[in-house]
Amino acid sequence: MGNLLENNITGHIGTQKYLCTIIWRNGQLIMDEPESIGGNDLGPDPYSTLLASLASCTLSTLRMYIDRKGWVIPEINISLNAKQETEGELNTIISRSISFSADITPEQKERLLLIAEKCPVSKMLKGKITINTNI
């Protein structure tokens, strides 16, 4: 299977502590850390960006499914956070809460929960991840 992205994501950091520039296919993103740990909070931190990826993938996947079904649900909202437990092996727990601007039936709720779990980023995060690093 080929790469998920046509072009690599690239990044750069200079001498300013934590301030990173990330280049993607159509622009650049500034990332930083909060002031509370020495950054200048000029952009999202890595954890926020990871959760934002899951949020946008979940929202897009749900929107495609809702539209295909012809359901009238004008707005989907999502809230995420994460915590890590370090007893023994590191375990990361992501909480994801989804709400809708319209009432949904119990059947729709059940189906939408299943669809949220099938978004590609959810599946990636729940699968085995190998990071091959070289210098």
- CATH entry 3.30.465.10 includes domain 46-126: no
Tokens 């200079």 belong to residue:
14
What tokens appear for 12 in the block?
Answer: 């750069």
d(CA 31, CA 44): 5
- Read off the pLDDT of each residue in 123-135 and give the average, rounded to a whole number: 95
State pLDDT tens for residues 7-36.
999 999 999 999 999 999 999 999 999 999
d(CA 118, CA 108): 15
What tokens appear for 124 in the block?
Answer: 């990636």
Q: Is the pLDDT at 86 greater than 90, yes or no? A: no
Its pTM stands at 0.92
State pLDDT tens for residues 41-77.
999 999 999 999 999 999 999 999 999 999 999 999 9
User: In the chain, where are the structural domains located?
Assistant: 1-43, 46-126
d(CA 5, CA 113): 27
